[in-house]
Amino acid sequence: MWRCLTASDRKRQRRREDLEKRMNSPSLLSSNSAAHVHHISR
């Protein structure tokens, strides 16, 4: 049981890392920052 749990935890960590990488990707960052700047300027 513990081995299965650790394996699932590893998969979750990998998914989290992938999500973080996607969130930190330049294209998403630029679009998000631009949206924030536009909202603030307004």
The pLDDT, as a whole number, for residue 33 is 58
CA distance 10 to 17: 10
Q: Where are the domains of the chain?
A: 7-38
Q: Which of 11, 33, 13 is nearest to 23 (CA)?
A: 33
Distance of CA 16 to the CA centre of its chain: 7
pLDDT recorded at residue 31: 58
Q: Does the global pTM surpass 0.75? A: no
pLDDT at 20: 86
pLDDT of residue 6: 83
**Tens digit of pLDDT for each residue in 1-42?**
566 668 888 999 999 999 888 877 666 555 555 555 555 555
